[in-house]
Structure 1
Amino acid sequence: MARFKPSSSIKTRSIKSPLKYALLLALGSAHADDQYMTRILVDGSRTNQLGVADAASAGTVTQEELAKRTVYRPGEMLEAVPGLVVSQHSGEGKANQFYLRGFNLDHGTDLRTTVDDMPVNQRSHAHGQGWTDLNFLIPELAVRLDYKKGPYSAEEGDFASAGTASVAYANRLLQGIASVSGGQHGYGRALLADSVDAANGSLLYAIEAMHNDGPFTHPDDYQKLNAVLRYSQGYANNGFNVSLMAYKADWNSTDQIPLRAVQGGQIGRNDAIDSTDGGKSHRYSLSGGWRRTDDDSASKVNAYIIANQLDLWSNFTYFMDDPVHGDQFAQPDKRVTSGVNASHSWHQHTENGSSNTTIGVQLQNDNIYNALLNTEARRTLSVTRQDHIVESSAGLYIENSTRWNAAWRTTVGARVDAYRFNVQSDLAANSGTVNDHLVSPSASVVYGPWQTAELYANFGTGFHSNDARGTTLTIDPKTGLAADKVQPLVRSRGIEFGARTAWLPGLQTSLSLYRLDFDSELTYAGDAGTTEAGPPSRRYGVEFSNYYKPLKWLSVDLDLAYARARSRGYVEEGSYIPGAIEGTGQLAVTVDDGGPWSGSLKLRYFGPRPLIEDNSVRSNASMTLNGRIGWKMRKDLSLELEAFNITNRRDSAIDYYYASQLKGEAAPVDDIHFHPIESRSLRATLIKTF
């Protein structure tokens, strides 16, 4: 059994083989020594992907950079992915809104997200396809964030067409940590985490408690309890771990509000129309991972079982459907998700290069109970529909990466996915079983005869699954009218050309141009709180990402992205896609000389978007400036001060355009509905390490 043992004598320049570099980088999060491995592979805090990545849009963010980010909520950690914007339109316990590559990804559709190889996206969810709730994430445990964009990897399946984000937790902490935070708007958080030796291995534990009211007139009263317990033995490339995670929360929601009510003085920017909106959720998981590596092969297996439950109450149209009781609805969702991922790789070395072939299998089953209920003040009035769904899938993939010589390398692969949707509805006409399958090939070519630059060409196909209830639907349960079924699996096709360079010492730059087509676009239906399958779509875009470390104590990140999204074919209403993001930008400056003081500033620009198909109504741009100052009072004690929305801008976190009716209005009114960004707030955190 071969093991890699880090040594203080190892230097980054000693790792000459890109294949070995990639392998070591991929294994850098599972052991305290391996965390040191991650640091020596990094120039500053962002890994240099030359000789490693298959695309200009793929990358890795290390623990060092993640720790320096100022995030208002856990899901915003994913904004370390260039071009990705994380927002919110409701209470803090709800899944975030995600925007990437010209998509309003709603609550996670087409952004495949995993934590320790466990899927976070929830299929056939009551509120939206691909529901991605990251509120159980504990940022202090994250040692690496890997990301890809586009359907160019055979390893990635459902929801991966716009991008993937994979968070890895530590197996062992270098130091124990105890922290306590307090801030404006009722914010409070406490965390205790450490690792101890146990039975020839390591036992990691973390406990988190949090409360936040937010700036809203009716406080969020968000209460969260979170815990992780993990036992591990061995190293990242030769060892195993078993983990228990538990998360529980409840909250009130100030959902999006109509612009006319604010402009007319009926409510303030932080008020709610229905103060009884909110939710409660829990997530419990048991997972395990095993890896074995030698000079010529590598194997890994992980398995998981996850119990998720959400009770969500929303009211987006107020009194349009029911002038007496109001339009609040509940979307309970209870599920058990189980799965196994396994892969085996063979490494071969030739006279001029090397080759790596991987074959893998991914199995997942979701046993789901969800419903759509009409409610008033969280009290059930009537049932629109109730369903029991069993959604099962099997994915098989093969991928070969070959370095032909010093200049050329390729990656080619293919995967086949088979799905089975079984729906037992309270309306027999909407019950049934549907099967579908897709084959998805992909290929990447990299040309890099230079030491400081590479060129990339990527081609691939992917897919997203539609809600299982739509695959068997014949009657709309809300109106009683005939309804059309949706295609179970929807094809995507992507092409990308890019370049990456590190020609200037300390500067890493990447540029990518892409096109992405979907056979059917998923759009958000505000009146039902669900996603619906729409017409085909096409997106063109460009992304420009820079990380510059001109001095040992100074680093600068600049990420810019632009996308053009349109429906394909003739669409009577117009070809614009509501909510499709067009332009984003992030500029971050970090100062840290290793002394007692450190600090950072991050400016985020979130550009205007069409809100209706003919582009006659558009949102405004949104911009926020966040900052952090750290003071290391002594070796084991530090104080951090974080500031959010420093300039106190009155922008929107999200905008929609649809019809709603307020109490006293004679008829529905088409209007912009928005959720404000949080007003300026400060948080202080005292951190003790041991």
Structure 2
Amino acid sequence: MSRVILLCVFLGSSLLAVSQTNIKGIYIINAETRVPVQEAFLQNEDASFNIEADENGFASFKTLPSTASTLTISRIGFETKKVHLDTLSITNNTAIIYLKAKVSNLQEVQVKATARSGVFKTISDLDIHLRPINNSQEVLRMVPGLFIGQHAGGGKAEQIFLRGFDLDHGTDINLSVDGMPVNMVSHAHGQGYADLHWVIPELIDKVNFNKGPYFADKGNFTTAGFVEFKTKDYLENNFVKVEGGQFNTFRGIAGINLLKPKGDRRSQSLYFAGEASYTKGYFDSPQDFGRYNGILKYHGSISSSSTLTATGTAFTSKWNASGQIPNRALESGMVGFYGAIDNTEGGKTSRYNTNLELLTSLNNGGAIRNQVFYSRYKFELYSNFTFYKEDPINGDQIRQKEDRNIYGYNGSYHKNFFIGNMPSETNVGIQVRYDDINNIELTRTKNRTINTAGIMLGDINEMNAGAYWSQRLSLSKQLDMTGAIRFDYFTNRYNDKLSSQVSSTNATIISPKLNFNYRLNDKVQLYLYNGRGFHSNDTRVAVQEGGKKVVPAAYGSDLGGIFKVGRKLLFQSALWYLWLDQEFVYVGDEGVVEAGGKTRRYGFDFSVRYEVAKNLFADADVSMANPRALGVEKAESYLPLAPRFSSVGGLTYRKEQGWNGSLRYRYMADRPANEDKSIIAKGYFVTDAAINYTKKRWESGLAIQNLFNVKWKETQFDTESRLQNEPAPVSEIHFTPGTPFFARASFTVFF
């Protein structure tokens, strides 16, 4: 009898091993919409197998141990499911697992991070699940500690602040959408200029971010950190949304599936979405800010091993701006708080993108990703920062203009495998970007129509080729080590049409990284990240300096952890340090090159997420930084406008249907506006609120910015300017007023 029992056990084990050998993997699918559940997390009973589902919801079993018998499948926003492998229904060597969507609670959230996604993934997934992005102001605010400020009528890219940096419009933060770069090199207005207004907020599916220069696949501008946005591959429903609010604000958006869903899982999708918006604005002089967006996106399996994603987007906008107001003009009564010194500022811009991405799964369990993209970009901006300082008769208005083509390629190879009994992960890649910029100019103008002086005019050709290799080793079930190296090569060419001179140069930089993740258990993960990163400088600097000190290095370290305390509290904290080398900087508003000294920043970040009661969640992010210039007297080492203390947070009530709402705050403390701290940029505390009522087929909502109608200065600069008929220039705070109480109602139909 015992021999019979042993034989049965042996046969059962053999059959299980055979079934696992024959099955290539499983698809994780939304039970209601049949849409793939991307990035679902799979783990076996002893945690020796950890993997995320790909864009098609597919998880490969290539590295699944033969001893595995059960898998736990989880994803924020879905019910966790435990699957017994011997019960899978296999078709064509694959199986399908359906997950039911739900509002996740913090009790279900596990702390996990990978070498590819980083430590913030848990918080990012939770935030976008509980607080879906519904307007353009919220797009970048998903990053803990990141602040934005608008100071040119709504159409210009926002000013960005993070980790003790005044990032201007993107100089030290790498932004991308679906793998396409947002940052503009050698831009007419400023290096790294990053305009996200061509992204429709309702179509953002995921936001992946990290702080510091620690990831090899993130190259130029990745010093303070990076943010990558992923638009939806599938529309779960068709929808039409209309909005209306104060200041003659109107917005309409529609998203339509062009392929009818069929089968037990959606393997193909084609949708179109369009957006149109207009606002007169809250300034005394009308903004007349209009914006139009469109996207056509295909995603689908073109073979058993390959998936194609093809996207085309179109964006155009036009606006007027009231510019910056000097404090003395407000105090004297010359203008009101929402007035203007030069109300002929403004601009227009457009961007058209084509993006093709092919993901191929290999028989060895690896994956190759090939991406090519093209962008056609135009920009024209009129500004007046100094009024009558340079030209007392015509004024100091300037035009910054360019016409650009961007060509790019991203290729990568990823594979999980074993070195002996040690799990390992390889990521290697090549990235190429070429910018062809025509007639990039800086011109003095009057009332936008009259040219008074040409300052800069030329053509720029800039190429950046990068290659990286990253290797993760699981030294134990708890400890991962990831070593990486990146190499970047730049070529720069400038055809100066005013002096009839052509100059060119090149530069290189090598960026090593070394990261450690220690997973104590499913409630505690510690990490130590170290790396070298960089941001490039404008081609007009590079050719003038012969390629020297135009790709300044940044060295950073992060020591922190993510902690789950009890069942309802999740927090992340980090001590960080960042040192930047000396560089030369092109000042786009003046057309001159200035020397920038070495700087160092260190600080502390803290983020907390807490489930107060069923469906009620609280969150807070606190950032403290000590940014300083090196090599100068301590009393004159302050970095102008660099944030030193900031915090955001709030309460969110979230249900699948019925009432939803949030109450949120933004706080920026006072900060030095100049090097000796003799001029202060005043801080602000602003509260926003939103309430929605959701049913399966429709949703109505009301959003309020600046609930308590406080007067606040959204952007501030210490600028030397001269008002008309003033005897001499004056240096003081110039500001752009922040949004007053602003209510906006919306109604959405799903079908």
- Aligned counterpart for 1:402 among listed residues 473, 477, 480: 473
| Paired amino acid for 1:375 | T
Query: How big is each residue's C-alpha offset from its partner over 1:251-294, in whole Å with a ceiling of 9 and x where there is no partner?
Result: 00121110110011100011111111000000001111111235
Partner in structure 2 of residue 366 of structure 1: 435
Residues in 1 aligned to 2:118 and 2:616: alpha-carbon distance in whole angstroms: 27
Residues 1:86 and 2:124 aligned together: no
SS of equivalent residue, structure 2 residue 52: helix
Residues in 2 aligned to 1:412 and 1:326: alpha-carbon distance in whole angstroms: 55
Residues in 2 aligned to 1:255 and 1:59: alpha-carbon distance in whole angstroms: 40
Residues in 2 aligned to 1:608 and 1:467: alpha-carbon distance in whole angstroms: 31
1:461-540 mapped onto 2 (5 Å cutoff): 461-473=532-544, 487-520=549-582, 528=590, 532-540=594-602
Partner in structure 2 of residue 480 of structure 1: none
Query: How big is each residue's C-alpha offset from its partner over 1:122-181, in whole Å with a ceiling of 9 and x where there is no partner?
Result: 000010000000111101111000001101111110001101000001111001110000
1:338-349 mapped onto 2 (5 Å cutoff): 338-349=407-418
| Paired amino acid for 2:356 | G
1:629-640 mapped onto 2 (5 Å cutoff): 629-632=691-694, 634-640=695-701
1:248-287 mapped onto 2 (5 Å cutoff): 248-287=316-355
| Paired amino acid for 2:441 | A
Residues 1:5 and 2:27 aligned together: yes
Partner in structure 2 of residue 106 of structure 1: 168
For the 8 Å contact 2:541–2:585, the answer to whether it is kept is no
| Paired amino acid for 1:274 | D
1:280-679 mapped onto 2 (5 Å cutoff): 280-293=348-361, 296-349=365-418, 353-369=422-438, 370-379=440-449, 380-428=451-499, 431-473=502-544, 487-520=549-582, 528=590, 532-570=594-632, 574-632=636-694, 634-679=695-740
Partner in structure 1 of residue 77 of structure 2: 39
Query: How big is each residue's C-alpha offset from its partner over 1:471-490, in whole Å with a ceiling of 9 and x where there is no partner?
Result: 2238xxxxxxxxx9862211
| Paired amino acid for 2:623 | A
For the 8 Å contact 1:146–1:166, the answer to whether it is kept is yes
Question: What TM-score, normalized by structure 2, do the two folds share?
Answer: 0.85
SS of equivalent residue, structure 1 residue 281: strand
Identity of aligned residues (%): 30
How far does residue 392 in structure 1 lie from its aligned partner after superposition? 0.4
- Aligned counterpart for 2:296 among listed residues 226, 229, 235: 229
For the 8 Å contact 1:578–1:613, the answer to whether it is kept is yes
| Paired amino acid for 2:131 | K
- Aligned counterpart for 2:52 among listed residues 11, 20, 23: 23
Residues in 1 aligned to 2:415 and 2:30: alpha-carbon distance in whole angstroms: 30
Partner in structure 1 of residue 285 of structure 2: 218
- Name the CA shift for 1:345/1:55 in 2 (closer, same or farther; >3 Å): closer
SS of equivalent residue, structure 2 residue 347: strand
Residues in 2 aligned to 1:202 and 1:20: alpha-carbon distance in whole angstroms: 31
For the 8 Å contact 1:466–1:533, the answer to whether it is kept is no
For the 8 Å contact 1:651–1:676, the answer to whether it is kept is yes
For the 8 Å contact 1:453–1:502, the answer to whether it is kept is yes
| Paired amino acid for 2:338 | N
Structure 1 portions without partners, runs of 5+: 475-483
| Paired amino acid for 1:624 | V
For the 8 Å contact 1:60–1:146, the answer to whether it is kept is no
Structure 2 portions without partners, runs of 5+: 1-22, 32-36, 60-72, 81-102, 262-266
| Paired amino acid for 1:39 | G
For the 8 Å contact 1:256–1:675, the answer to whether it is kept is yes
| Paired amino acid for 2:674 | I
Count of residues paired in the alignment:
675
Residues in 2 aligned to 1:308 and 1:276: alpha-carbon distance in whole angstroms: 23
Residues in 2 aligned to 1:566 and 1:622: alpha-carbon distance in whole angstroms: 23
- Name the CA shift for 1:688/1:19 in 2 (closer, same or farther; >3 Å): farther
SS of equivalent residue, structure 2 residue 520: coil
- Name the CA shift for 1:599/1:57 in 2 (closer, same or farther; >3 Å): closer
How far does residue 594 in structure 1 lie from its aligned partner after superposition? 3.4
| Paired amino acid for 1:248 | T
Which protein has greater RCO, CA pairs closer than 8 Å, 6+ apart? 1
Residues in 2 aligned to 1:687 and 1:257: alpha-carbon distance in whole angstroms: 38
For the 8 Å contact 1:69–1:77, the answer to whether it is kept is no
For the 8 Å contact 2:145–2:162, the answer to whether it is kept is yes
Residues in 2 aligned to 1:51 and 1:285: alpha-carbon distance in whole angstroms: 32
Question: What TM-score, normalized by structure 1, do the two folds share?
Answer: 0.92
Residues in 2 aligned to 1:308 and 1:435: alpha-carbon distance in whole angstroms: 25
- Name the CA shift for 1:67/1:224 in 2 (closer, same or farther; >3 Å): farther
For the 8 Å contact 2:301–2:308, the answer to whether it is kept is yes
Residues in 2 aligned to 1:462 and 1:188: alpha-carbon distance in whole angstroms: 42
- Name the CA shift for 1:209/1:37 in 2 (closer, same or farther; >3 Å): same
Query: How big is each residue's C-alpha offset from its partner over 1:185-214, in whole Å with a ceiling of 9 and x where there is no partner?
Result: 111000010222179832110010000122
Q: Name the stretch that deviates more: 377-386 or 277-286.
A: 377-386
SS of equivalent residue, structure 2 residue 194: coil
SS of equivalent residue, structure 2 residue 506: strand
How far does residue 434 in structure 1 lie from its aligned partner after superposition? 0.7
SS of equivalent residue, structure 1 residue 74: coil
- Name the CA shift for 1:240/1:531 in 2 (closer, same or farther; >3 Å): farther
SS of equivalent residue, structure 2 residue 552: strand
| Paired amino acid for 1:555 | F
Residues in 2 aligned to 1:652 and 1:510: alpha-carbon distance in whole angstroms: 30
SS of equivalent residue, structure 1 residue 382: strand
For the 8 Å contact 1:226–1:248, the answer to whether it is kept is yes
Partner in structure 1 of residue 87 of structure 2: none
CA RMSD of aligned residues (A): 2.9
- Name the CA shift for 1:13/1:296 in 2 (closer, same or farther; >3 Å): closer
For the 8 Å contact 1:374–1:383, the answer to whether it is kept is yes
For the 8 Å contact 1:63–1:143, the answer to whether it is kept is no
Query: How big is each residue's C-alpha offset from its partner over 1:594-649, in whole Å with a ceiling of 9 and x where there is no partner?
Result: 341111011111121111101111111111100110013x4211110000000111
Partner in structure 2 of residue 481 of structure 1: none
For the 8 Å contact 2:549–2:583, the answer to whether it is kept is no
Residues 1:682 and 2:743 aligned together: yes
SS of equivalent residue, structure 1 residue 665: coil
How far does residue 15 in structure 1 lie from its aligned partner after superposition? 3.1
How far does residue 347 in structure 1 lie from its aligned partner after superposition? 1.4
For the 8 Å contact 1:60–1:145, the answer to whether it is kept is no
SS of equivalent residue, structure 2 residue 141: helix
For the 8 Å contact 1:108–1:121, the answer to whether it is kept is yes
For the 8 Å contact 1:75–1:137, the answer to whether it is kept is no
Residues in 1 aligned to 2:328 and 2:132: alpha-carbon distance in whole angstroms: 36
- Name the CA shift for 1:416/1:526 in 2 (closer, same or farther; >3 Å): closer
How far does residue 353 in structure 1 lie from its aligned partner after superposition? 4.5
SS of equivalent residue, structure 2 residue 329: helix
How far does residue 506 in structure 1 lie from its aligned partner after superposition? 2.7
| Paired amino acid for 1:112 | N
How far does residue 64 in structure 1 lie from its aligned partner after superposition? 7.1
- Name the CA shift for 1:273/1:654 in 2 (closer, same or farther; >3 Å): same
Q: Name the stretch that deviates more: 155-164 or 568-577.
A: 568-577
Residues in 1 aligned to 2:679 and 2:221: alpha-carbon distance in whole angstroms: 29
How far does residue 431 in structure 1 lie from its aligned partner after superposition? 3.4
| Paired amino acid for 1:569 | G
